[in-house]
Amino acid sequence: MSDLLTRLRGRGWRMTSQRRVVAEVLDGDHVHLTADEVHARAAQRLPEISRATVYNTLGELVLLGEVTEVTTDGRAKRYDPNAHHPHQHLVCSRCGIIRDVHPAGDPLTGLPAAERFGFTVTEVEITYRGVCPACA
C-alpha cells in the first residue's frame, strides 16, 4: 500500500503520521474494518490518534476513490480498500464474515432498460448472503 501513500502525496495530500497509520491499517485484500476497528488498530501504533481523525481520513479516502464504504448489516459501515478491483460481497448470515467475490459478466446489464425508469444507472452493489463452511 506504499503505492497509496505516493498516490496521495501526488494529489497534494499533506502527509501526517495519523494519515499514514490509517492508510497502513487498511492495507491488504479482504479487509473490511469498521471505523472503530480502524481506530483501534491505528491506536496500537499511534496511541494518541483521535476518533475524529480516523473518521476524517476515512471520509477523504472514500472521496478520493481509494476506499469504498460497505454496509452489510445495517450497523457500522465497513471500509474496503480494494476499490481499484471491482467486486461484490458474500456475507455469512451467522458469523458475518465477508468475502470479496466476482460475479460473471457485468452486473449492470442485468437490469433491462424497461426497468430503469429513465435513470442513468452507473453503479451496482450486490450482497450475496448464505452460510459459510465454518458455520454450516
Partner DNA sequence: ATCCTACGATAGACAAAGTTCAAGTCAAGA
Partner DNA sequence: TCTTGACTTGAACTTTGTCTATCGTAGGAT
List residues forming the annotated binding site: 92, 95, 132, 135
Residue 47's contacts (CB-CB under 8 Å, 6 or more residues apart) are none
Chosen residue from 30, 40, 44, 76 binding DNA by CB under 7 A: 76
Among the listed residues 95, 73, 80, the one whose alpha carbon sits nearest the alpha carbon of residue 32: 80
How far apart CA 25 and CA 31 sit, in angstroms, is 9
What, of DNA, a copy of itself, none, does residue 113 touch, CB below 5 to 8 Å by kind?
Answer: none
Chosen residue from 3, 6, 9, 96 binding DNA by CB under 7 A: 9
Q: Which is closer to DNA, CB of 19 or CB of 32?
A: 19
108 binds a copy of itself (CB under 8 A): yes
Decide if 32 contacts 69 (C-beta within 8 A): no
121 binds a copy of itself (CB under 8 A): yes
